[in-house]
Homo-oligomer: A and B are copies of this chain.
Amino acid sequence: MELKDIKSPKDIKNLSIPELENIAAQMRNAILNRTSKIGGHVGPNLGSVESIIALHYVFDAPEDRLVYDVSHQAFPHKMLTGRVDGYLFEEDFAKVGEYTDPKECPEYDLFYAGHTSPALSLCVGLAKARDLQKQKYNVVAYVGDGALSGGVAFEGLDAGGALNSNLICIFNDNQMAIAENHGGMYSHFAHLRETNGTATDNLFKAFGWDYIYVNDGNNLEKLIAAYSKAKDSAHPVVIHINTQKGEGYTPAEEYRERFHYRDPYIISSGALRELGSGPSYGGVFKKFVLEGVKKYPDMLVISSATPDALGLNEKDREKLGDNYLDVAIAEQTGVSVMAGAAKNGSKVVYGVVSTFLQRAYDQLMEDWAMDESPAVLNIDSTGIAAITDQTHLGFWDIPMITSIPDIVYLAPANLEEYEAMLNWALDQDKLKVAIRQPNYSVEHADYPVVSDYSDLNKFQVTHEGAEVAIIAVGDWYVRGKEVAELLKQKGIDATLINPRFVSGVDAALLTSLSANHKVVATIENGSLEGGFGQKVASALGASDLKVLNFGLKKEFIDRYNVKEVEKAYGLLPNQIADSILHAVSVA
């Protein structure tokens, strides 16, 4: 049987173990084929090959419900459910996304599950509905690659353990999250692996689950035996499988963190096809923390399993030593640890990915903002150009953070301003400061960058003009400048403003604009509803000024082309300029 001929899970039901092993080998080549050309999650999928083949061999999807958590490890599932072309043929790559996707395949992909950890809770819902509907089938959560450290996963273990019914959890223990795993339970898992699953104080049993251990989680025969034992169980059961992240591809086995997600690379060596060069925002951040710990010996640098997104590689973390804490995939805890260490007077910097910070909304509100806990929250992967999967969009952070009181949210427009804001935020000891790491184009300041931002919500006028005022936020300040240049060609000398703060407005400046302006345009690389521009519109609601808000729509967009979306939203410089000219003409 050739991998390319598999159309549905039925096609593997009658294969022998050697034939299945042959499919597994072909799958590994397919994973390398795709990821080496367009990038993607390499190690997680190489590690999950056998355990997912066995899943479809033993269970009968779609009647049995399979839910992946986190779904970036589900490539083998996609290959078995009619989407193998997306891994074999370059022209079909774009048809298949990185995560499970009910739109892509409603029959076999139940949820998006792009963020880690909710699969067990989703499965409790599926199982509960099944029982109320008096149906019989298996509900299976495939959990792993670090997903178990997220709070909701434990909640799901707790809720699942109380379910007196069928519920199966495959715990894919590859000993890694994105970087190494952190936390007390990982010692416990190591101990379970060392004792072939017999160690006492079993976490899963404590939550009320039955427990099966499979030491060789890349062995099809053993996996099939274990799954078959659990199938149709009338009680929640965990199957803990010990797998190898990157299995079968030496560079990925050796450099497990670098091959978690990899940009396009050369298969023979594992080397990246293109190396970044020149100054970067990540480089500014890295320098900032490495110098920060020298200045403040008790400074704590926190990551929640994404040090790479911060630009901190293994060597940097080694340098940081005890000053660095990875709390695992656990953003709620990231924020609470930040608040706790700040309360004790340490300087604290927590670097977090925009989309993942969503998990800590309550802690931002209750543990950080409400308290006197000066700290620096660096938010990366922001805006339209960061991550283009709908599950990982980076443009909800302005509405999310700016609806919370007492967090100063700064949006630097270029390298110099970013560095200045980081340094100011760290040195001051009163305010809770979040900084939106730019993520569009690498820019240098062409206006005087200040070192002190304690005059809150003070916008900076970088060019004084008349008739039109453009307030352009953060990494789209440069777009405001482009628009101003286009307007100049049409005879309008627009005022250009870098607001710097997105968590509040400069009421005095806004009011003063009435004197010699007709139109105020806001431009932000973020969702409009609840965002910065609407604050400006509200502040100017009773004035004679016309206000136009340019930004992203409140909608989920998936695997998109950045420029196409900008065009569809009317956000290209010439489109914005045209809209402004129209407003001026009717004002």
Distance to closest chain B CB from A578 (angstroms): 14
Cα–Cα, bound, A206→B199 (Å) = 10
Please judge, given known A-B contacts A130-B344, A158-B328, A362-B359, whether A124 and B333 are in contact too, CB under 8 Å.
yes
Contacting residues, chain B, for A333 (C-beta < 8 A): 118, 121, 124, 152, 155-156, 158-159
Given contacts A184-B157, A406-B556, A530-B403, contact A122 B208 (CB under 8 A): no
User: Is A528 in the interface zone, CB < 8 Å from B?
Assistant: yes
In this complex, what residue of B is CB-closest to A543?
B546
Q: A30 to B404, alpha carbons, bound, how many Å?
A: 36
CA gap between A363 and B114 in the complex, in Å: 11
Within 8 A of B (CB), among A320-379: 322-323, 325, 327-328, 330, 332-333, 336-346, 348, 358-359, 361-363, 365-367, 369-372
Chain B residues in 8 Å Cβ range of A159: 182-184, 327-328, 330, 333, 337
* Identical chains in the assembly: 2
Mask: chain A, 109-131; 1 = CB below 8 Å from B; 0 = not: 01111110010011111111111
A155 partner, pick from B65, B150, B156, beta carbons under 8 A: B150
A200 in contact (CB, < 8 A): yes
Which of A276-284, A394-402, A569-577 faces chain B? Answer: A394-402
Chain B residues with CB under 8 Å of A370's CB are 112, 390-391, 556
Verify A300–B129 contact, CB threshold 8 A: yes
CB–CB A327/B155 < 8 A: yes
Complex contacts, A158 vs chain B, CB 8 Å: 149, 183-185, 328, 330, 333
Let me know if A542 and B546 touch, CB within 8 A: yes
Distance (whole angstroms) from the CB of A327 to the closest CB of chain B: 5
Enumerate chain B residues within 8 angstroms of A531, measured Cβ to Cβ.
403, 530
Contact between chains at B161 and A183 (CB < 8 Å): yes
* Bound CA–CA A461/B209 (angstroms): 55
Residue A510 at the B interface, CB < 8 A? Answer: no
Contact partner of A205 among B124, B201, B530, CB < 8 A? B201
Contact of A534 among B111, B127, B534 (CB under 8 A): B534
A248 CB-CB contact with B under 8 Å: no
Contact status of A538 and B549, CB under 8 A, knowing A154-B154, A157-B184, A158-B185: yes
Chain B min CB distance to A116 (Å): 10
User: Interface residues of A, CB < 8 Å — how many?
Assistant: 121
Q: Contact: B125 with A339, CB < 8 Å?
A: yes
A197: Cβ under 8 A from any B Cβ: no
Which residues of chain B come closer than 8 Å to A391, judged between CB atoms? 366, 370
Question: Taking the complex as formed, is A547 at the interface, i.e. its CB lies under 8 A from any CB of chain B?
Answer: yes
Contact A123–B340 (Cβ < 8 Å):
yes
* Minimal Cβ-Cβ distance residue in B for A554: B405
Asked if B530 and A530 make an inter-chain contact with CB atoms under 8 angstroms apart, the answer reads yes
Counting CB contacts under 8 A, is A298 at the interface? yes
Contacts of A366 in B (CB 8 A): 112-115, 118, 358, 391
- Asked whether any CB of chain B lies closer than 8 Å to the CB of A499, the reply is no
Chain B residues with Cβ below 8 Å from A236 are 184
Report if A454 contacts B (CB, 8 A).
no
A133 touches B298 (CB 8 A): yes
Chain B residues within 8 Å of A325, by CB: 128
Residues of B within 8 A of A215 (CB): none
Chain B, Cβ-Cβ closest to A127: B340
Cβ of A151 under 8 Å from chain B: yes
Interface: A94 (CB within 8 A): no
Q: Are A396 and B554 in contact (CB under 8 A)?
A: no
Let me know if A125 and B203 touch, CB within 8 A: no
CB distance A361 to B363 under 8 Å? Answer: no
Q: Which residues of B contact A344 (CB under 8 A)?
A: 65, 125-126, 129-130, 133
Instruction: Kindly list 7 other residue pairs between chains A and B, CB separation below 8 angstroms, not including A118-B333, A358-B365, A529-B535.
Output: A125-B348, A129-B300, A129-B343, A161-B183, A161-B187, A162-B187, A185-B207
The 4 closest A-B pairs by CB, nearest first: A161-B184, A151-B151, A125-B340, A184-B208
What are 15 of the A-B contact pairs (CB < 8 Å)?
A102-B371, A124-B336, A125-B344, A149-B158, A150-B155, A151-B152, A154-B155, A155-B183, A157-B184, A161-B183, A161-B184, A162-B183, A184-B236, A402-B529, A541-B549
